[in-house]
């Protein structure tokens, strides 16, 4: 299995887990539960993508330096 796909999955779940600790009640309007969950899912994918690319780029650069 490609390591990048594995990192995507791990970081998406890790991002979703960390985002559940944020209280979105003051940002989201009342009775908008579906929209709040969609926001958490979208932010999880964005954070997972960014973290994976950051880690893989760092590993590639560190291989070049050695």
pLDDT of residue 27: 84
Instruction: Please report the pLDDT score of residue 66 as a whole number.
Output: 63
Distance CA 40, CA 57 (A): 25
What pTM, to 2 d.p., does this model score? 0.83
Tokens (6 digits) for 33: 């539960």
Which pLDDT score, from 0 to 100, does residue 54 have?
95
Q: pLDDT tens digits for 31-64? A: 888 888 899 999 999 999 999 999 999 989 988 8
Q: What are phi and psi of 49, to 5 degrees?
A: -65, -45
Going from N- to C-terminal start, the domains of the chain cover 3-65
Q: How many Cβ atoms sit within 10 Å of the Cβ of residue 14?
A: 14
């Amino acid at each position: 299995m490609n390591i990048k796909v594995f990192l995507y999955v791990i970081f998406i779940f890790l991002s979703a887990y960390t985002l559940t600790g944020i209280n979105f009640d003051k940002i989201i309007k009342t009775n908008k539960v579906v929209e709040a969950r969609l926001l958490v899912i979208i932010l999880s994918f964005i954070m997972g993508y960014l973290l994976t690319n950051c880690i893989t780029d760092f590993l590639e650069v560190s291989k070049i330096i050695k």
